[in-house]
A and B are shown apart, each in its own frame.
Chain A
Amino acid sequence: MKKTFGGPSIFLDRNDINTDEIIPAKYLTEVTKDALKPFCLEDLKLEGFDPNGSKLKKARVIVTRQNFGCGSSREHAPWVLEVNEIHTVIAESYARIFRQNMFNCGMLAIELPKDQIDSLFKLEQSSKEGVEIEIHLEEQVIVASNEMSKERFNFKISPFDKALVEAGGWVEYADARY
């Protein structure tokens, strides 16, 4: 089933946030996605970030820097985002397996160049209530707004990744085709 994208955002200002920080290995003993829900980003050490805070609870989009999701192949990382209704990550770059896992789950791992990620962070820094992000998948446009201003960014995802999102994931896509 195709997912919904966009909403309130949380900004994680660091490179190389790894899968162990997104979901620690000790929770990999769970056999359902829902059981992961309370442990999202539990081991992430970042100034001002609280894994139990309302900001993360409300967030539907993560904005971050380079190489997000590096490390383990565990799909538990996208799953813990999925069950917390975070279906979109916007970053400068990703680790390959994490990026593929996101699209395989029918979720969005959007890449933007550094200057545009910087602009998003500026928008966040100048806001009180945070940044609201709209995703227009057809047009491949992001609209980010705070209380004062609104900015538009074009993004590109590969036709294959787009097809996976449209299909609702890789299992659906592959099952129909192979």
Chain B
Amino acid sequence: MGQTTAEKIFSSHLRDEPFPGTKVLDLDRVLCHEITTPVAIADLEWRGKDRVFDNTKIKAVIDHVTPAKDSKTALQAKILRDWAHRHEIKDFFDVGRNGVCHALFPEKGYIRPGFTAIMGDSHTCTHGAFGAFAAGVGTTDLEVGILKGVCAFREPKTIRVNLVGQLATGVFAKDVILYVIGELGVNGATDRVIEFHGPVVERMSMDARMTLCNMAIEAGGTCGICQPDMVTVEYLWPFIQADYQDKAAALADFQKWTADEDAEYDKVLNFDVTGLEPQVTYGYKPDCVKPVKDMTGTKVDQVYIGTCTNGRIEDLRQAADILKGHLIADTVRGIVSPATPKIFQQALQEGIIQIFMDSGFCVTNPTCGACLGMSNGVLAEGEVCASTSNRNFNGRMGKGGMVHLMSPATAAATAITGVITDARTLSA
């Protein structure tokens, strides 16, 4: 019997099986940010175990509230910063060099096919785009990860999602994943990995694959996984060229993580994306999904472009393509947060930041920002935000606020008109 990608990674990283079905894995990466790590650090100190299992496998960033907005967030940042310095964690990213964790860490080449990674952040599933097993965990799992380099999982079953057909112009990975979540439901993939296959995924860039995998958790999935291929090799090449003779050799090595033809799946779902329209959420759950045309005309107060779902360079390009030559509506506050300093600089060089500013957008530093109502861009009671983020929970961006999730292109079109708008219906 063949194996899925997750099964291959589980077999190769198995440290212990204390009980049948419980697999304790060795970790290649323990990723940390300033919201969920400080309590783990404090607990380790309290236990007299302020140690780290391997300071080269631990990466840390301040990203949720940065620069600090008040004394409390300054303290969270300080706890992480002091800890990183104390343990000589070289890959620690502070103000000026920091960005959204799930954009920054891949960009630094830290995630490779076949890796295991955990982070105290549910959107860690993003990193599965590289053919890795990456799971969001709580602070206790993170704490044990930091101390011992292991994490326990029930071996997940895998749902295989085959994406076939051809995406229409103006329809993106975000529309695909919103549609898939709408079909699976918010607990349709609980205790499951979602393995994405098919020509649609093969044609996607790493940015798009990360968008796809980022939202696996919104269907309850432990991780979203794409199959490593030449796109993966090209993305990682600057970081791996010393390790391989050529790209073909890297590809051959990476493909040992490819799911076997005869792997056993919990479920196989086939979606033909030909004819798929831009999608948007309504209500307070990410599986409440409709075509944009059914929500057209819904008034919004704020448009947010950024986050670990859609704050990468391709996302900004897609939004800028729509915004170019337009002003956003007087009734709309437009906010864009490029996800990392590198993305910010690239957007500057490509004139994208200029387009955003000319259209009336506020450009913030790289941060999680408005997505979770912790720092900037908080909504007032009764306000509505069109957002490229991943969660529309009640109160997510501020008590009494409403969030509609959509692609960067739809968000840009919505900013221009002030109401939810299919970008394809705008005249240039």
B90 CB, nearest partner CB in chain A, Å = 25
A25 touches B396 (CB 8 A): yes
Interface size of B in residues (CB-CB distance below 8 Å): 57
A22 CB, nearest partner CB in chain B, Å = 11
Does residue B89 face the partner (Cβ distance < 8 Å to A)? no
The 8 Å CB contact of B140, one of A31, A104, A159, A163, is A104
| Complex Cα–Cα for A25 and B24 (A) | 30
Interface string of A25-55 (1 = CB under 8 A from B): 1101111110000000001010000000000
| Complex Cα–Cα for A43 and B396 (A) | 10
Interface string of B7-24 (1 = CB under 8 A from A): 000000001101101101
| Complex Cα–Cα for A178 and B53 (A) | 11
A14 CB, nearest partner CB in chain B, Å = 11
Residue of B nearest to A72 (CB): B122
A67 touches B35 (CB 8 A): no
Does residue B161 face the partner (Cβ distance < 8 Å to A)? no
Does residue B230 face the partner (Cβ distance < 8 Å to A)? no
B79 touches A31 (CB 8 A): yes
Question: What A residues does B187 contact at CB under 8 A?
Answer: 16, 66-67, 70, 93, 95
Interface residues of B in 370-428 (CB under 8 A from A): 372-374, 391, 393-396, 399
B50 CB, nearest partner CB in chain A, Å = 13
Interface string of B136-152 (1 = CB under 8 A from A): 11111101100110101
The interface centre, meaning the residue of A93, A100, A177 with most chain B CB atoms within 10 A of its CB, is A100
B395 touches A174 (CB 8 A): no
Does residue A153 face the partner (Cβ distance < 8 Å to B)? no
Does residue A110 face the partner (Cβ distance < 8 Å to B)? no
Question: What B residues does A71 contact at CB under 8 A?
Answer: 122, 391, 393
A73 touches B120 (CB 8 A): yes
A26 touches B49 (CB 8 A): no
Total of A-B residue pairs, C-beta within 8 Å? 147
Does residue B162 face the partner (Cβ distance < 8 Å to A)? no
B394 touches A20 (CB 8 A): yes
Does residue A101 face the partner (Cβ distance < 8 Å to B)? yes
Question: What B residues does A95 contact at CB under 8 A?
Answer: 187, 190, 220
B15 touches A158 (CB 8 A): no
Question: What B residues does A134 contact at CB under 8 A?
Answer: none
The interface centre, meaning the residue of A29, A32, A158 with most chain B CB atoms within 10 A of its CB, is A29
Question: What B residues does A171 contact at CB under 8 A?
Answer: 43, 47, 140, 143-144, 147
Question: What B residues does A20 contact at CB under 8 A?
Answer: 372, 391, 393-396
Does residue B281 face the partner (Cβ distance < 8 Å to A)? no
B285 touches A170 (CB 8 A): no
Does residue B63 face the partner (Cβ distance < 8 Å to A)? no
Residue of A nearest to B35 (CB): A28
The 8 Å CB contact of A31, one of B39, B49, B399, is B39
Residue of A nearest to B149 (CB): A178
Residue of A nearest to B74 (CB): A29
Does residue A75 face the partner (Cβ distance < 8 Å to B)? yes
Residue of A nearest to B122 (CB): A73
Question: What A residues does B21 contact at CB under 8 A?
Answer: 158, 160
Interface string of A66-80 (1 = CB under 8 A from B): 110011111100100
| Complex Cα–Cα for A11 and B106 (A) | 43
B138 touches A101 (CB 8 A): yes
The 8 Å CB contact of B65, one of A29, A31, A158, A160, is A29
Question: What B residues does A75 contact at CB under 8 A?
Answer: 36, 39, 120, 138-140
B374 touches A174 (CB 8 A): no
| Complex Cα–Cα for A100 and B100 (A) | 25
Interface residues of A in 55-104 (CB under 8 A from B): 66-67, 70-75, 78, 93-97, 100-101, 104
Does residue A139 face the partner (Cβ distance < 8 Å to B)? no
A67 touches B394 (CB 8 A): no
The 8 Å CB contact of B220, one of A67, A158, A170, is A67
| Complex Cα–Cα for A43 and B374 (A) | 15
Could you list which residues of chain A lie within 8 angstroms of chain B, going by C-beta atoms?
16, 18, 20-21, 24-26, 28-33, 43, 45, 66-67, 70-75, 78, 93-97, 100-101, 104-105, 158-160, 163, 169-171, 174-175, 177-178
For the complex of A and B, the 3 pairs showing the least CB-CB separation, nearest first, are A75-B138, A101-B138, A104-B140
In addition to A74-B120, A178-B148, 17 A-B residue pairs with Cβ atoms within 8 Å of each other are A18-B393, A20-B391, A29-B73, A70-B187, A74-B35, A75-B138, A94-B190, A95-B220, A96-B220, A97-B122, A97-B138, A158-B154, A160-B22, A170-B144, A171-B140, A175-B147, A175-B148
Q: List 30 A-B contacts (CB under 8 A).
A: A21-B393, A25-B372, A29-B65, A29-B374, A33-B39, A67-B186, A70-B187, A71-B122, A71-B391, A72-B391, A74-B120, A75-B120, A75-B138, A75-B139, A96-B220, A101-B139, A104-B138, A158-B22, A159-B22, A163-B18, A170-B140, A170-B152, A171-B43, A171-B47, A174-B150, A174-B152, A175-B144, A175-B147, A175-B148, A177-B18
